[in-house]
Structure 1
Amino acid sequence: MVFFLSLISKLPSDSVKHLTWHEVGHHDVQGSRLRCPRVREGPPAEELLFTQDEGALPPRKRVCEKRRWETWLQENWEDCKNLNISFQDLGDPYQVTNFNRILRRLIRVETLWLVDNSLVDLSAIRLPSCRVLNMNRNHLTSFKQLPKIPQIQHLSLAENHIETLTGLSCLQHTPLESLVLKRNPCEFYQNYRKRVFSCLPNLKMLDGIPKLPEDSPSPETNIFSNLCIVS
């Protein structure tokens, strides 16, 4: 019984559990210093009143343009270079909208983890400086759903639902060195490795295995050269 009571007792941080960090006073933390932020929305005030959860959410005030600008500057996603926003459980439209808003501001991010976010299509997002991108365990079905990543060097897409290699050519003109496609349906295609390396001749490693001599078909027998033209 004592153990049960300890579980339902409030924690000291309960009064701020539904706040964004820039709504908490007396600090100067910027978004570029965060490594694993959470994209969440607190319950409506009516629900808090019903549950008598006093003090968990401050009274809503009309946000003036000056305050919005201050919040924008404090979030400071534009200067973020390393960010992990995985495991977000994006089940609410607010969360999806805010998540995409953050992604659009990551103009300088170099290392980005988006693991297990149920992501379907980020083709409208551009990450101009991203060199390392981990999108394991999402719901991608095509390479065409990837964000624009012109500087990508290491890309991991394990445990998605990519069925074919169609659209792989979108990575052809990037400095991509390593690619992970483990546990995608396309992994079981005949001559899978040859197909990938034929489309991405500068690729050095696929699924954690360096490029082997047998992964490079001879020019006379290269029947996959047209693969990258498929749109």
Structure 2
Amino acid sequence: CDVTGDQLNCPRVREGPSEEELFLREGDDIHLERPSRRRRRREEEEGQRWEERLQENWENCLELNLSYQDLGDPYQQENFLRILRRLIRVEKLQLVNNSLTNLSSVRLPRCRVLNLHCNHLVCLRQLPKLPVVEHLCLSENAIGSLGGLGALGNSPLRSLNLTHNPVTFTQDYRAR
């Protein structure tokens, strides 16, 4: 109980939607409850979620491994992105094998090492904003061109791993 979020090695952040949300997604309406009771229950759940989020300590993480999260539901993906947006101090981040497709809404202002091995990124424009990244691993994605590489031009990038991406088959990709 005394462990905070910044001390976890690989926490599971893939909480799924509540039963009520799943039920509502199916297009069915809850006719059995009165609207005021539903509203009250929804407010209690939101209050509980807010308390849980306050207990999270994502802002103070310096090194974090959020690999293998198995993000199959859009709700889980949005929750995962919400957590990534809170990582304002992280310097080393592992996001291996999460089926990520677009991180362009995320900014990682202090991240020096980012590992996005084995995801579903198709272009460099889908990367998060990385002003100080030094080591970036994008191996085993679906990156087909170097378009968007200019966004990394101002960063002190030392290594970029693009192995097992379609872009590696283009002529002179290393020189570019």
Q: Same fold (TM over 0.5)?
A: yes
The share of aligned pairs that are identical, in percent, is 59
Corresponding residue of 1:157: 138
CA deviation after TM superposition for structure 1 residue 71, in Å: 2.7
Deviations 1:76-121 (A, max 9, x none): 1000111111111111122111101100100000110111111111
Q: TM-score, normalised by structure 2?
A: 0.80
The correspondence for 2:44, drawn from 33, 43, 62, is: 62
Q: Counterpart of 2:125 in 1: which secondary structure?
A: helix
Structure 1 residue runs of 4+, over 4 Å off? Answer: 67-70
CA deviation after TM superposition for structure 1 residue 41, in Å: 2.9
Greater RCO (CA < 8 Å, at least 6 residues apart): 2
Q: Counterpart of 1:83 in 2: which secondary structure?
A: strand
Contact 1:84 1:112 (8 Å CA) reproduced:
yes
Corresponding residue of 1:30: 4
CA deviation after TM superposition for structure 1 residue 28, in Å: 2.5
Contact 2:14 2:76 (8 Å CA) reproduced:
yes
Q: Structure 1 stretches of 5 or more lacking a match?
A: 1-26, 46-59, 196-231
1:72 paired to 2:46: no
Q: Structure 2 stretches of 5 or more lacking a match?
A: 21-41
Give, in whole Å, the separation in 2 of the partners of 1:120 and 1:183: 17
Q: Counterpart of 1:192 in 2: which secondary structure?
A: coil
Q: TM-score, normalised by structure 1?
A: 0.62
Amino acid at match of 1:158: S
Corresponding residue of 1:141: 122
1:106 paired to 2:87: yes
**Cα RMSD after superposing both structures:** 2.1
Deviations 1:107-136 (A, max 9, x none): 000110111111111101101110000001
Q: Counterpart of 1:62 in 2: which secondary structure?
A: helix
Counting only pairs closer than 5 Å after superposition, residues 164-183 of structure 1 correspond to structure 2 as 164-183=145-164
